[in-house]
Amino acid sequence: MSLNSMKRAHIVYAHPEPNSFVAAMRDMTQESLELAGWETSLTDLQASNFKAVASGNDFGDRARSEYLVYSLEQRHAWQHKSIDPEIAAEVEAVSRSDLLVLVFPVFWFSVPALMKGWIDRVFLSGVFYGGRRVYDHGGMRGKHALVVASLGGREHMFGPNAIHGDLNGMLRHLLQGTLGYVGFSVYEPFFAHHVPYVDDTVRTGMLMKLCSEIGALENRPVLAMPSLEDFDEQFQPKSAIRDDPSAC
């Protein structure tokens, strides 16, 4: 396989402990992708001191200096090449990749603040999304995304009738509202359950399972997402219009 034909994956990792199990999942993800023929890049948000807080300081040249509309300033700064270099580097890394992998522990039914800050600052309006450029018309259409996450709860605690409900539903804000929204085809996530409370033998089994599933990534199911073909110009469902007896 030539370098020009190699698939590229960008891995973004967030965890406050360098020797955590999540770090081991990060390493296994990268090693497994490379073993499968992928070219990889990695951003360790903690080690790189990535700034999680969005602010007007992200833009060297402002469209409106007196009032901050963050999404509009993102567009302006990207067009005028005046965006913070650490943001620009991440936008370019994602844009040149075929696969984005987010590796993190689930905190409070969500992502760590550092990962959320990366999304807020890097998923630029105008590049990733804008207007009707969402879902299957989004800026990242044609690319895939995968979430690799750990959590403390046992597997039986998550599901349609479980105490916490469906895990994918818990992370809908990320899986659909972020990754799917900007056009990624989102693979079924990989979850490692009850990690702080199991022994090393069980954790090793989790890592081996991750290795196996990364190796078979092309066969992994993709989550269902809305398609703009099913909605009109105002994002109203076309089925609702067809079923409305007052519609012309």
Task: List, run by run, the mean pLDDT of 10-residue segments along the chain (248 residues).
Answer: 71 96 98 97 97 96 94 96 97 98 97 98 97 95 98 93 94 98 98 95 97 95 95 88 55
In angstroms, rounded to a whole number, what is the distance separating the alpha carbons of residues 126 and 147?
Answer: 24
Which is nearest to 122 in space by CA: 144, 94, 81? 94
Instruction: Give me the pLDDT at residue 6, please.
Output: 80
Two tokens, residue 217: 């990534």
Q: pLDDT tens for residues 55-65?
A: 999 999 899 99
Domains and CATH numbers, the chain: 3-243 (3.40.50.360)
For 216-231, what is each residue's pLDDT tens digit? 999 999 999 999 999 9
pLDDT of residue 247: 53
In angstroms, the CA 67 to CA 156 distance is 48
Q: How far apart are CA 14 and CA 50, in angstroms?
A: 10
